[in-house]
Structure 1
Amino acid sequence: MNTGSQIKGEQNLAVIKWLTFLMFMMFAMTTDAVGVIIPEVMKQFQVSMTAAGLMHYTPMIAIALAGVFLGFLADKLGRKVTVILGLAIFAVNSYLYIAANTFGFILSLMAIGGLAIGVFKTGALALIGDISKSTRDHTSMMNAVEGFFAVGAIIGPFIVTNFLSKGVAWQFLYVVAGTLCVILIILALLVEYPKTIKTTEEAVNLKAALSMLKDPYALGFSIGAFLYVAVECAVYVWMPTLISKYEGNLVLIATYALTIFFVLRAGGRFFGAWLLVHFNWSVVLVIFSFLILLCFLGSVIGGIEMAVVLLPLSGLFMSVIYPTINSKGISCFPKAQHGAIAGVILFFTAAGAALGPLSMGAVSDACGHDAYYGFILATIFAGLLFVGLILNLLLDPTYQRLSELELTQYREI
């Protein structure tokens, strides 16, 4: 074997991994900072809470639509072109925030940014399959990638808060993100991407991508992603409202509850990358989903005093759920279809992020504007997720398909 070629190949893989990690971190900086930005936009443009809430729902809906309607581009155009295309649109869009002087303009930029995220994220998710040596390696890498996403979710709000404290407009967060995008585009142009394994002559288009919705594996993992994201969003969207009036002995924890949640989620994902290499993924998901359910049940039954502790703690147990569901769902398909299936799961992910908090808000409003009732609904979501993962463990429906694809799709890179 040519040692020089081997070294170059390893260097390429290292750059591709870091490119993927930083992409996830970068877009999380913007999407998860919306909660800090909304109050500033409300003051700046005198809009209602209902209208301001569109700043969360608009990009989520755009990501969902891009996932299901544009996810196939990663398979049609190739990972490299798709990633660069999405990043380029996102970069230009981010710089335009400096000129955003109306609420409608901001919402338009958020919609376009969501579409761009949907494009480069499906390209990046498909790329993870190309550089994975096994389905287990795929799951481990997905947890590491989502760990960087969780880090971005911490960095974004911190940057905005720091900017605002110094009199700098919140829009400059997008200048930071846009500049990081340009760096990522340069890296993507310079690196050599691995070739995607194609074992089928099936058409790669929107019709073929939509047909995946009929596949029980695609549908099952997509529903799992929807339920998980609805549970996760319950914490970072509505927990601050639930505990806002708390004045007990744990007020310090209540003050930093959301930060604690994000930190535990981030740390847990890096731990999950190791955990899932050494233990059966189905067992891990059942145990962690049960612990999440206990956290939500304890918060609903024990009241705010318990919620202040248990809801942030749930972040540690949530850490491995989504990346593993996402990974196994994608791994149930040939690598040549990874862009399309990643897009389908992304659609349900973004739908859960939009509809979960929305339904909780509606239930809370219907029950006297009390967030407690919304968390009862979130507990039901957590219960359904746990039941689904129990059935997955007992029936093991993916064993045969994953075993077959392990032999035909994965090899040493």
Structure 2
Amino acid sequence: MKNSRITISVFLLYFLFAILLNSVGTVILQVIHSFNVDKTNASALEAFKDLSIAGASFMAAAFLPRFGYRKSMLMALAIMAVACIAMPFFPGFSTTKLFFMCCGISFALVKVSVYSTIGLITNDAKQHGQYMNMLEGFFMLGVLSGYWLFSQFIDSTHPESHAWLAVYSLLATACIALFLFLLGSPLDESLAHPVAGDNANDVTIHSVGFVLMLKLFAKPIVYVFLLAAFLSVLVEQGITSWLPTFNNEIMKLPLSLSVQVTSILAASTAIGRMGFGLLLKKINWYTLLAICLTCMGSLVLLTLPLTQGIDASEVTGWRNAPIAAFIFPLIGLFMAPIYPVINSLILSALPKYQHSSMTGLIVIFSALGGTTGSLITGFVFSHFSGQAAFYLTLIPLGVMLPTLWKLKHELSRC
């Protein structure tokens, strides 16, 4: 089957980086206990990750078409193999911050390369959208696996233990194995250059990658889309990064169980991304996402009151965990389709040679949204309460609805 090996490589790469990147919520919980770091400082890990993504994406989108998408993915795996090896050998909060900086730089290389590769190996907008939803769904399966993987190395009876760092030896091995597999996966990247695009005049513009990226801002649809992407990730990362800590401190779950229960969020998100991908064949995308936003807001309002006054002595395992611990993570089911759907819409509306530039902007604004969401949630969690932090998600959810309507209007004019 044509492109089968590169397709497998792309899915495995996204699966692995899902574990690495989204371990930040688990690691925030662990550094609070293992390295005696307060919540406000611990939230900086999200900034190290996301700001590195933003900075690297700006460079990546401009130069990756020349450097090569496959080479960029190989470089990302090499960087992460070294970073994973360093974690258990040099334990500390400083090493952890450097690790997530490496995560951010590497993921910028991966995401720009992967999103651009999708445009090269799919034939039309419909296939592109289905591929995108499947890939993002597989990403969430990686997140789900990551929670269970990390939980196996966490010692709940000794919160200050560094035993959890042993997981990085396993992750380093996975990086090296995937590097070797991808090394033998061919990819035709000729269509990534503007000579294969619709407008030959763009050849000179593309010779300066930054200019091509900036040129996208001439399109009104780009402003609307970037706001939608920013808000979507703000909500998603605010919840994902702090749910393990919320489970531990508000739901009164033991450390390892706090991480395991968070896997419900990843599972529901994975199911949502794959399932809603099928529904998009029958339901208009705006109608579907409007329903999802409404359900998310309703779940926040209905579930958070159930998290008040929980007695820690009554919670020892899955059987006697509070009902809210199982209901709230289902928000992932409705959160799931928003980000991949709007990404697919904007990329499908552009010629293939502009995909790397647009993906660069996607990653930059997504990273800024993730950092903002995590920092705000961490600050409110630390100075007020976990409930107040999650109630704040209602504000960006409310802003997203008219933003998506405006995006629909702009798409109709393309």
| TM tier, smaller | 0.7 to 0.9
Which residue in the other structure is 2:168 paired with?
174
Q: TM-score, normalised by structure 1?
A: 0.83
Q: CA deviation at 1:277?
A: 3.8
Q: Check the 8 A contact 2:292/2:334 in 1, yes or no.
A: yes
Please state if 1:318 is matched with 2:321: no
Structure 1 vs Structure 2 CA RMSD: 2.8
Partner of 1:341: 358
Identity in percent: 27
* Residue 178 of structure 2 corresponds to residue 184 of structure 1: yes
Q: Deviations over 1:157-213 (max 9, x none)?
A: 211221235988333333333322223222322222133433231324234324434
Q: Where do 1:279-358 residues align within 5 Å? A: 279-299=283-303, 304=307, 311-358=328-375
Q: Which residue of 1 aligns with 2:105?
A: 115
- Give the direction of change, closer, same or farther, for the CA distance of 1:103–1:374 in structure 2 (3 Å limit): closer
Q: Which residue is 1:398 aligned to? A: 411
Instruction: Determine which of 375, 395, 398 is the counterpart of 1:383.
Output: 398
* Structure 1: gaps of 5 or more residues: 1-9, 248-252, 402-413
| 8 Å Cα contact 1:147-1:270 kept in structure 2 | yes
Partner of 1:60: 50
Q: How many residues end up aligned between the 2 structures? A: 381
Q: Which moved more, 1:19-28 or 1:330-339?
A: 330-339
Alpha-carbon distance in 2 for matches of 1:364, 1:50: 9
Could you tell me the TM-score, scaled by structure 2's length? 0.82
Aligned residue runs from structure 1 range 3-402, under 5 A: 10-11=1-2, 13-165=3-155, 169-197=163-191, 198-199=196-197, 200-201=202-203, 202-203=205-206, 204-239=208-243, 244-245=249-250, 258-299=262-303, 304=307, 311-363=328-380, 369-393=384-408, 395=409, 397-401=410-414
AA in 2 matched with 1:339 = S
Query: In the aligned structure 2, how far is the partner of 1:160 from the partner of 1:254?
Result: 11
Segments ≥4 residues shifted beyond 6 Å: 253-256
CA distance in structure 1 between the aligned counterparts of 2:236 and 2:268, rounded to whole angstroms:
13
Residues 195 and 119 of structure 1: CA distance in aligned 2, closer, same or farther (over 3 Å): closer
Instruction: Give the Å deviation of 1:113.
Output: 2.4
Q: In 1, Cα distance between the equivalents of 2:60 and 2:296?
A: 33
Equivalents in 2 of 1:62, 1:161: separation in Å? Answer: 27
- 1:235–1:311 Cα contact (<8 Å) kept: no
Structure 2 vs 1, CA of residues 141 and 277 (structure 1 numbering), >3 Å: closer, same or farther?
farther
With over 3 angstroms needed to count, the CA separation of the structure-2 counterparts of 1:103 and 1:329, relative to structure 1, is same
Q: Quote how far apart the aligned CAs of 1:262 are.
A: 1.6
Note the C-alpha offset of 1:288: 1.8
Comparing 51-60 with 165-174, greater Cα deviation is found at 165-174
